[in-house]
Amino acid sequence: MARINENFLKLKAGYLFPEIARRVNAFSDAEPEKAIRLIRCGIGDVTEPLPPAARSAMKEAVDELGERESFRGYGPEQGYEFLRQAVAENAYAGLGVDADEIFVSDGSKCDTGNILDIFGGGQKIAITDPVYPVYVDTNVMAGNTGEGDDSGQFAGLVYLPCTAENDFTPALPEEKVDLIYLCYPNNPTGTVATAEQLEKWVDYARGNDAVILYDAAYEAYVQDAGLPRSIYEIRGARECAIEFRSFSKNGGFTGTRCAFIVIPKELTGSTAGGERVALHGLWARRHSTKFNGVSYPVQRAAEALFSVEGKTQIRNLVEHYMGNAALLKEACERCGLAVYGGEHSPYVWVRCPEGVDSWGMFDKMLQEAQVVVTPGAGFGAAGEGYFRISAFNSRENVEEVCARIAEVFG
């Protein structure tokens, strides 16, 4: 008898974004005429073409593969040296991250889920709420939680609510935890952490022998040079934090797929018997066993994002999406809605009007405006009463969404 992993049965609904797609498809089947006007501001998926620097590097790399002399088969599982070096020199200039502490992968979604392979069971895990659903769902699958309740919370996890009432700033856990997920700029609330706030987390983690899993997939959207883009800007973070980064949201690689994680060599965890073990070695072992590397053309394209032209092209993309975020924020504010985020992040987080819950708002926007948004409750119990609008879109679509918001709420 092939036994299943029964932890999967604890997951009540489908994964958030396919669930939204399912509901949108049902709407399109039921109302084909309205569906023609659909504008998707749900999942944070980029819409603008790949930067030219990445495209030419990718094409050249494909041509190299077409010649016997320059053909390449399997690459190094951890990523080619040229990309790891470019990441160390550019993304972590002055922060003391070495190329061999970087592991290239096909996405932060996979990395934030897969990282659980190197941690044991029975740990206390702290998760901000609302949160990117992958952190919760992968812990459920790994058996790190009990059952879920009607609000979507799972027994055993330590939830740290982030709402307007606490300025979307999670309090430090009251009990001792072992793993802490943080994401800044935050998905979904669009808020950003100051260095002082991150210092508190690093102090907590070091004081409690905990590891911070720091998701910085949206770091390119930080607009203020005084705000940290990497957890390693904080003294002591190398001893307590793993950082996740991606080329998806800066270089428009959501379909191209390339990301990386940083595991500093001095970062350790403990065996049940108290022996300290370097997490770097465990992840290297895991990565080389379960992963065969990102394709050569894609790694060359990612490397090109660090060239002078590549950096300018990324800046232009970020400016475009941030311009969209500003328009969406203004449009909601003009209608008297309470709006958060959107200043250092491509996500605008909006409070639902009195008497409408998150999924009610999703339905209202779909039915009355044919705009797809993400219901806040899909990101966790504390997201109830909010919805998220993604600024990843063309300017034309965003202007149209703003006009429709005014029609529905104005």
**Where do contacts with ligand MLT occur on this chain (CB under 6 A)?**
43-45, 109, 132, 187
> Can you read off the two tokens belonging to residue 337?
């809605």
- Torsion of Cα atoms, 363 then 368 then 373 then 375, to 10°: -30
Distance of closest approach, residue 249 Cβ to ligand MLT, in angstroms: 7
Of 159, 158, 112, the residue nearest 138 (C-alpha): 112
By beta-carbon proximity to ligand MLT, the closer residue of 389 and 402 is 389
Q: Are 252 and 261 in contact (CB under 8 A)?
A: no
By beta-carbon proximity to ligand MLT, the closer residue of 237 and 314 is 314
Residue 169, burial from CB neighbour count under 10 angstroms (0-12, 13-18, 19+): middle
Distance of closest approach, residue 43 Cβ to ligand MLT, in angstroms: 4
- Counted residue by residue, the chain has a size of 410
> Can you read off the two tokens belonging to residue 121?
């069971």
Report the C-alpha gap between 348 and 350 in whole angstroms. 6
Distance of closest approach, residue 392 Cβ to ligand MLT, in angstroms: 8
**Cα distances (Å, whole numbers) of residue 212 to 32, 242, 254, 267, 280:** 46, 6, 25, 11, 14
Report the C-alpha gap between 335 and 346 in whole angstroms. 20
> Minimal CB distance to ligand MLT: which residue?
44
Distance of closest approach, residue 187 Cβ to ligand MLT, in angstroms: 5
Report the C-alpha gap between 218 and 234 in whole angstroms. 18
By beta-carbon proximity to ligand MLT, the closer residue of 204 and 349 is 349
Distance of closest approach, residue 45 Cβ to ligand MLT, in angstroms: 6
By beta-carbon proximity to ligand MLT, the closer residue of 130 and 264 is 130
By beta-carbon proximity to ligand MLT, the closer residue of 216 and 267 is 216
Distance of closest approach, residue 292 Cβ to ligand MLT, in angstroms: 22
By beta-carbon proximity to ligand MLT, the closer residue of 44 and 269 is 44
By beta-carbon proximity to ligand MLT, the closer residue of 109 and 364 is 109
* Residue where the block lists tokens 């605008």: 348
By beta-carbon proximity to ligand MLT, the closer residue of 112 and 163 is 112
Distance of closest approach, residue 352 Cβ to ligand MLT, in angstroms: 18
Distance of closest approach, residue 220 Cβ to ligand MLT, in angstroms: 14
Of 78, 73, 74, the residue nearest 88 (C-alpha): 78
Report the C-alpha gap between 395 and 359 in whole angstroms. 26
Q: Are 126 and 182 in contact (CB under 8 A)?
A: no
Q: Decide the pairing of beta strands 374-375 and 157-161.
A: unpaired
